[in-house]
Structure 1
Amino acid sequence: MTVHVLGGHQTDFARNWTKEGLGVYDLLRESALGALADTGIDPAEVEVAHVGNLAAELFCGQAQLGGMVAAIDPAWAMLPTSRHEAACASGSVAALAAMADIEAGRYDLALVTGVELMRGVGAQEAAQHLGSAAWVGREAVGAAFPWPSLFAELADVVAERDGLDDERLGANLARIAEINHGNGLRNPLAQTRGWSFPDGCFGPDDVLNPPVEGRLRKYDCGRITDGAASVLLASPRYAKEYARRHGRSADDLPKITGWGHRSAPMLLADKLALAEGRPYLFPHLRQAALDAYRRAGVAGPDDLDVIETHDCFTITEYAALDHLGLTPPGQAHRAIEEGVIERDGPLPVNPSGGLIGLGHPVGATGARMLLDAAHQVTGEAGECQVEGARTALTLNIGGSCTTVAIFVVSR
């Protein structure tokens, strides 16, 4: 069964909601009501809600977020809700659960909302809270910043496997950072849209681009962000009626044509051990991509117009490129050096700015990617629009590539 994306809403990722005296409920409320306003749907039509969130208990002492959704509108006072956690892939896992509800025929219209309130604590405390998505006590032990530490380790492995010297890998990562920050400047909801980037700031300058962990520097790293994103997913039956009410054809509505979802063992070391002797560093990620392409009926990247991929660090995006098939395994540098992923390249990647440029409220990222994909294929992405986009892919990653979720959205 086809699942349609009717529309949605993303909050402004530059806002610091704690400084405004607002909390996680306010984020959820703005995003959910914004999705209703965007689509013109009455709250009473929504039949189920799925919430993606990593660590509201740690960041703001709040659990039971489904009950908060039920408090947003009187029509939702008895709404069935669920919360889903898969580290940075929480929003995508919530979307997969909503799709399953629709495909099973249980409901015709589902709200998917992802949320994270992260900026109410200091950087060190935020890093430790985020570190709960690694295997606590068994990896990144003693690291001041657990995730930069683990992804710096991953960068070293990539350099060795792909035969890249420090200078070449560094130049490729710097180019990813420069592209995504440049794209973020165009996005009116991006956390870094007002930033300035002096010449040389993406390179190996310890003043302009200070080291964080290993070979990863300031501009290689994603943001600590407050934000929420919501999408409304519908069955073909509801989508047809919705289109009729709005004087449109259901064929004009974006739809999820393919998906892939895989998990690997928690420890990065265990994943690296599984990769020994194999062409791909993360075989489960490659399999998820193949699953998504098969379900969508597309051959691979040549049938895509745009990609929104996880780039919590530049090395994450780098590793994703060959797994998605833009290059043969171990040759992701070609997609960067040949300009494939540029905004005006053959297959633009992260025209939104990605996690690095746009921001990364952890639980919201998967829903935000899905919304951006829907906007791209309907020509509604504004300054981030890729001309003529009809098919988009999203890749959302949780942990050290522990959980991966991919959607293909087409029109």
Structure 2
Amino acid sequence: MVYILGGWQSDFSRNWAREGMEVVDGFAEAVENGLEAVGLDAKDVESGHVGNFVAELFANQGLLGGFFGQVHPDFDGLPTARHEAACASGSVAILAASAEIEAGRYDLACVVGLEQMRNVPGQRAAEYLGAAAWTGHEFQDATYLWPRAFSDLADEYDRRYGLKYEHLMRIAEINFANGKRNPNAQTRQWAFNDKSFTANDEFNPVVEGRTRKQDCGQVTDGAAVIFLASETRAAEYAAKRGVSLESLPRIKGWGHRSAPISYGTKVRASADNPYVFPQVRRAIEDARARAGVTDLGQIDVVETHDCFTATEYMAIDHLGLTAPGESWKAIEAGDIEIGGKLPINPSGGLIGLGHPVGATGVRMALDAFKQVTGQAGDYQVEGAKTCQTLNIGGSTTTTVSLVVGV
């Protein structure tokens, strides 16, 4: 059993380059604040893991595990590794750290997810992020690759089941509204009008294909950190603080599936499947099976990957909240809102909170920790005891889902 002791997240509205920060500074800030938040010392950590997608391109920097020893002398000698799985990099780092703990190699691991993305022009950022697609083979005519890819996903839903833009915009509206509740959200000060969530070319301009501005997750600088512990170490931690081991959240279940890197290959393969992305569905089901979850009603809240509104639309039916192709029913019923049947992205998600790519999976796990311990503040889901995360890399090339609960 792997326990989450807590962690820390940066303010996703910040621009590190404008503050004179390098990616190592964001890393150091996260680790130092994380240690303080959880009440640990650097010498307590036995293993370090970093989730990051493309620091080599944005920051001309690889070998990010070496940052641990750079930011604190007590980390000199610490075994470390960096993990890459596009937008799922942070979750894959969590899986690697968890596996070490479950194998008995170490009892306490620090997992950092981070990305610096606002230090280059938008077009260059789009080109860098395109490394998660099948380079040179798909979407070569697109100016902005990922908005085009998920425009194609919206087209696919429309072709198979029918799709109304008003339902995608309701997803955006909910996530931006949730972001206003989150003191770390990139968009918490953004203002909208009555045309912002419509197909209005002035207030919601087209980015690529049928993807418009409000459909998009945010290009973000940010970091998040969590600390994972074995049952033995978690029991020591709890006893020292006068709390029960049972009050500490744990990773109850996990799912990890991969699919071909080509978007087209995936969609063609699922032509006769009710789910557009069967491997996403399998990852969700794997996590629940390992956690002993047999009914959707056992999940209180979800943090899901909404790099675009079409991604969350897909996630709603793949999570089983509706039958395939009927995500619109949950949207219209208010099921995904705070106070609804299954609140999705009370944090604001990637659209409202922000999406520093390598940090997102770690941030999701941290928000799961906050929700199930009642520490989510203004975006707390009342009575939440179990949270499922769904983190996707590329065009669902890598999918990781966690079930976190007390």
Would you call these one fold, judging by a TM-score over 0.5?
yes
1:83 maps to 82
Q: Do structure 1's residue 351 and structure 2's residue 346 form an aligned pair?
A: yes
The one-letter code matched in structure 1 to 2:138 is: E
RMSD across aligned positions (CA): 0.7
1:301 CA drift (Å): 2.1
2:112 maps to 113
2:376 maps to 381
1:273 maps to 268
1:182 maps to 177
1:197 CA drift (Å): 1.0
Runs of 4 or more consecutive aligned structure 1 residues displaced over 3 Å after TM superposition: none
Q: Do structure 1's residue 291 and structure 2's residue 286 form an aligned pair?
A: yes
Which structure 2 segments of 5+ residues have no match?
none
Superposed CA deviations along residues 180-206 of structure 1, whole A, max 9, x for unmatched, are 000001100000011111112011111
- Residues 48-59 of structure 1 mapped to structure 2, 5 A cutoff: 48-59=47-58
Normalising by the residue count of structure 2, what TM-score does the alignment of the two structures yield?
0.99
- Residues 87-166 of structure 1 mapped to structure 2, 5 A cutoff: 87-164=86-163
Superposed CA deviations along residues 240-294 of structure 1, whole A, max 9, x for unmatched, are 0000001110100011101100000000000001101111111111111111110
Between the aligned partners of 1:124 and 1:356, the Cα distance in structure 2 is: 19
SS at match of 2:138: coil
1:394 maps to 389
Normalising by the residue count of structure 1, what TM-score does the alignment of the two structures yield?
0.98
The one-letter code matched in structure 2 to 1:325 is: G
The one-letter code matched in structure 2 to 1:396 is: N
Contact between 2:143 and 2:208, CA under 8 Å: does it hold in 1? no
2:247 maps to 252
Between the aligned partners of 1:61 and 1:371, the Cα distance in structure 2 is: 28
- Residues 162-311 of structure 1 mapped to structure 2, 5 A cutoff: 162-164=161-163, 169-311=164-306
Contact between 1:300 and 1:325, CA under 8 Å: does it hold in 2? no
Between the aligned partners of 1:137 and 1:317, the Cα distance in structure 2 is: 27
Decide which of 361, 364, 367 is 1:369's aligned counterpart: 364
1:142 CA drift (Å): 2.9
1:58 CA drift (Å): 0.3
Between the aligned partners of 1:213 and 1:10, the Cα distance in structure 2 is: 31
Between the aligned partners of 2:18 and 2:162, the Cα distance in structure 1 is: 46
1:85 CA drift (Å): 0.3
1:97 CA drift (Å): 0.2
Contact between 2:175 and 2:345, CA under 8 Å: does it hold in 1? yes
The one-letter code matched in structure 2 to 1:363 is: G
Superposed CA deviations along residues 338-359 of structure 1, whole A, max 9, x for unmatched, are 1100112111100000000000
Superposed CA deviations along residues 33-89 of structure 1, whole A, max 9, x for unmatched, are 111111101110100011000000100111111001221111101100000000000
SS at match of 2:207: strand
Which structure 1 segments of 5+ residues have no match?
none
2:17 maps to 18
Between the aligned partners of 1:300 and 1:188, the Cα distance in structure 2 is: 33
Q: Do structure 1's residue 36 and structure 2's residue 62 form an aligned pair?
A: no
Between the aligned partners of 2:26 and 2:154, the Cα distance in structure 1 is: 34
Between the aligned partners of 1:204 and 1:222, the Cα distance in structure 2 is: 17
